[in-house]
Structure 1
C-alpha cells in the first residue's frame, strides 16, 4: 500500500475549531444510490425504521426529510446541541472523539442499521462526539424536537431506540477493549468488514492516513497489517482502492469483536 496525499483542513460550519477533513471511504462497487427515496419506505431502508409498526412509521416519516450525505460533511461537532437526528439509508457516519492535541479517533460507526442522535433518546440534546460522513449516501433527517415528541408518543419507537442505545453502549465498550488489547491486523480486518457492510460494496477508496486515524495507530502499522492481508489473498489494494477478495477469510482474520458486535445487534434488533 502506498501513501496518499495528506488530509485537507476545513472549518466546520458550526464555527468550532479546525478539524481534519479526511479523505475517507468512497464506495466504488455496486451501491444502492439513486434519487431520494419517497414515502413509504423503499425495500432498501434504515433497519430501525423497518422495525416500526406501519402507523408509527408513516407518522415519523411525515416529519422526516430525505437528504444526501456527502463525503466529509460534519453533521455535528462534539459538545454542540444536536439540530437533527439521522437515520442513514445507504451512507454511513463515523463517530469521532478527540483528546487535547491528539488526532481524532473513531469510536463508533452508524449505517443503515442505526441512528445518529442517540443522545436525544436519553433526553440529552448535546452530542458527545463529532459526526463525520465517511460513506456518501442518503439518510432520513428528523429535527431533534420532532424525534423527542415522537419518542413520547410511540411506545414502539421508544423500545426500538432504547434497545439500539443499549447495543451502541455494548459496542463502544467492546471497541475500547479492542483498541487496548487486539493487534493492528485483526482490528484492520474488523474495520474493513464494518465499512464494507455499511458501504454496501466490496470496493472502496481509503487512504493510509485515514485508516491510521480511525484505528489510532501509526501509518506504518497500517501498511504492514494491510500488506499481510494482501499476502493472504483477503484484500487487494491499488492506488488507494481496497477490494475485499475473500469475505469469509477476512472474517476469520478479524478480531472476535466483529462477530460479537454483530451478534449483540441481532439479539436485540433482528
Structure 2
C-alpha cells in the first residue's frame, strides 16, 4: 500500500459495508478503506474467516457478520449493526460473486443459473435497497459494484457468469440515474486477479496467461482496492454510473 494511502484520512467518520470480504478483493478493499480512516463491516459465509480478517483490519475499525449475501435477514442485520456500531452506512461495496459452473450455457443446470443471478445481481440490488432505506436516503452515500471483464464480451466457459456481470453493470447505471444527486453508484470490471476465486484461470500457467496482458502481469487484490476507494471518495464526486475496467490492458488485445 502506498504511503499516500497510509496517511490519507478521506474516509474518516464514514462507515462502509463490504460484502464477500473475508479474503481476496473484498478484504483488500476493506484494508484500503480502513487505512484511509473508515470503519468497515465485512461479510462472508464463515464467521471464522471473518474473525481472522477483523483481527487483520483491527477490531476497533472492523466488524464481521457472517451470512449468505442473498439472504434478506442477513442483509438487514448487517446494515442495522453498521448503524448501531459505527453510526452510519455511508459506503457500500457489492463484492460478493459466485460461479459454481463451467462450460457451455446450452448444457447449464438452470438451478445453478438461478443461483448465480440471485447472488451476483439480485443480492446487489437488495443490499442497495437496505442501505438506502436505513441510511442513504436521508444522508447520501456512494456505492461500488464489482463487475468483471467477463461481462463486456462473450467469455467461453463462464458465459452465464459474464451475463450476470453485464446485468450488474446495467443495474449500476440504472441506480445511478435513479439515486442521484445524493447517492453515486459506480462499478469496476477486473480481469484475472490472483485470488482463490480465480485460481482455476491461471494456476500452473500464470506466466502464459499474463503474457496476453500488455502490463505482463495478473492483477492483485490491491489493484482493485485502490480504484474502488477512489470511486467511493470525494475525488470521484462528479462520477456516477461509470464502469472502470481494471485489466492490465488485456481487453485491448481481445482477451477477457
TM-score normalised by L of structure 2: 0.31
Instruction: Flag the structure with larger Rg.
Output: 1
Q: Which structure carries more helix by proportion?
A: 2
Would you tell me which structure has more strand in proportion to its own residues? Answer: 1
The two structures have a TM-score, normalised by structure 1, of 0.30
